Structures are given as C-alpha cells and as structure tokens.
Amino acid sequence: MAEVHEGSCHCGAVTYAVETSLDGLIECNCSYCYRKGFVLAFAPKAAFTLKSGEDQLGEYRFNRHNIAHMFCKTCGVQPFGFGTGPDGSETAAVNVRTLTDIEPWSWTAERVDGRNF
Ligand SMILES: [Zn+2]
C-alpha cells in the first residue's frame, strides 16, 4: 500500500517526501548499489517531492548514464535517484535507509542480481 513517507540526507540539507509502498523493496548487488548499501523503493517521479536542498544536490551517473544518482554535497548521503522504468515512465528510486518516519529494520527487501543484468 502506498503511503507518504518523509526522508532526508544526514546533515538535513536535503529533505523530501514520497508516496510509495514499502512492499517490494530491493537490495541490488550491482557495482554501485552494493557499495552504497542501498535498500530501494520505487515510485513514479510525480509521487516524489523535493522539499529542500535542491542547490545542495550533486548528481552521479555511470554505465549507460540512465540513472541520476542524487547525493548531498555536504554529507555525501544519497537519498534518491531518478531514472526511467522499463515502460519509459519517469521513476524515483528512494533509498529506504534515508526515510525518517519508519523504524530502522522494520522493512524487508528482496535481493536482486543487478550485477548480472
Ligand atoms: Zn546532507
């Protein structure tokens, strides 16, 4: 069930809200996600709202450059990224570890083999 969740980077410069479900979370073993330890939830980009910190965001792209990985230039935390889904729709990928309104470890995530896609 999709609900509105709040999140932030570590220093608090970047804050956001997203309407998403915490069912179907994934952890990915690709070269980037694995290093970062992401647990990801996905939402249509229209369901994502940046509340503060637009000028604090840096962007990192690699491989096919399809995904804009957004990080805070002050604390380095990456709360979310933007890309396109398999059907071409604009999608936000939220780092569940940066949600501030849920208990740590209250989620479960499925491991996906992004390394061998
Ligand atoms: Zn920060």
Q: Which domains does the chain have, with CATH numbers?
A: 23-106 (2.170.150.70)
Residue 104 CA to residue 13 CA, distance in Å, equals: 21
| 45 C-alpha to ligand 1 centroid (Å) | 21
Tell me what the mean pLDDT of segment 80-85 comes to: 94
Percentage, residues of the chain above pLDDT 70:
99
| 67 C-alpha to ligand 1 centroid (Å) | 20
What is the pLDDT confidence band of residue 97, given thresholds at 50, 70 and 90?
Answer: very high
**Is residue 32 within 8 Å of 67, Cβ to Cβ?**
no
Which pLDDT belongs to residue 64?
Answer: 87
| 56 C-alpha to ligand 1 centroid (Å) | 8
Tell me what the mean pLDDT of segment 27-32 comes to: 94
| 117 C-alpha to ligand 1 centroid (Å) | 31
Which pLDDT belongs to residue 116?
Answer: 86
pLDDT beyond 90 at 57:
yes
Average per-residue pLDDT for the chain = 95
DSSP, res 60: E
Tell me what the mean pLDDT of segment 93-109 comes to: 97
* Closest to 82 in 3D by CA, of 63, 101, 61: 61
**Is residue 22 within 8 Å of 103, Cβ to Cβ?**
no
